């Protein structure tokens, strides 16, 4: 499985923490920045990461910013992206099961790094249920 990860400066430490775990688990990863804690605009990682998911270069994406909302709104501007904001483990599963989300968005200022990693694990381990949910997902794109 190939996973792209990006953030802004508020999510930098979380991004590094999650990337380390993913690499230890032998996932193929890409880091879409930032590469330090200097001020960094979240669209500068969210747009290229979303393009990589849309093109099929990567299977899933993980985006992190202070509230999780900025990266989520940016990613969802892309036609074939279904990004979901996650703040608990149940939602991490539901965005995959019911919405076929391909990007998880995390709020670094509101959850711990350990919680973020738990949510990522759930997101990656959960399959899309299809069925009645597929009909709904098909209606998302404009």
75-113 pLDDT, tens digit per residue, is: 999 999 999 999 999 999 999 999 999 999 999 999 999
Q: In angstroms, rounded to a whole number, what is the distance separating the alpha carbons of residues 52 and 4?
A: 8
Confidence of residue 137 (pLDDT cuts 50, 70, 90): very high
Query: 129 versus 15: which is more confidently predicted?
Result: 15
Confidence of residue 62 (pLDDT cuts 50, 70, 90): very high
Residue 67 pLDDT > 90? yes
Residue 141 pLDDT > 90? no
Q: In angstroms, rounded to a whole number, what is the distance separating the alpha carbons of residues 124 and 58?
A: 13
Confidence of residue 135 (pLDDT cuts 50, 70, 90): very high
What angle is formed at CA 73 by the lines to CA 41 and CA 57, rounded to 5 degrees? 80
Report the CATH superfamily, name and number, of domain 2-138.
Answer: Sugar-phosphate isomerase, RpiB/LacA/LacB (3.40.1400.10)
Token digits of residue 121: 């694990």
Show which residues are catalytic.
65, 98
| pLDDT, position 54 | 97
* Beta strand segments in 45-102, E: 60-65, 83-85
| pLDDT, position 142 | 82
Q: What are phi and psi of 2, to 5 degrees?
A: -110, 130
Spatial CA neighbour of 116 closest among 85, 83, 82: 85
């Amino acid at each position: 499985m190939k996973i792209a990860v990006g953030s802004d400066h508020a999510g930098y430490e979380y991004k590094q923490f999650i990337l380390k775990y993913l690499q230890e688990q032998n996932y193929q990863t890409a880091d879409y920045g930032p590469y330090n804690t200097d001020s960094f605009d979240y669209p500068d990682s969210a747009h290229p990461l979303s393009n990589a998911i849309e093109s099929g270069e990567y299977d899933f994406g993980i985006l992190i910013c202070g509230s999780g909302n900025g990266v989520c709104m940016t990613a969802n501007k892309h036609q074939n992206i279904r990004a979901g904001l996650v703040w608990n483990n149940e939602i991490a599963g539901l965005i995959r099961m019911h919405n076929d989300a391909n990007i998880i968005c995390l709020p670094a200022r509101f959850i711990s790094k350990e919680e973020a990693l738990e949510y990522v694990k759930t997101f990656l381990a959960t399959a899309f249920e299809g069925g009645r949910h597929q009909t709904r997902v098909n209606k998302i794109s404009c």
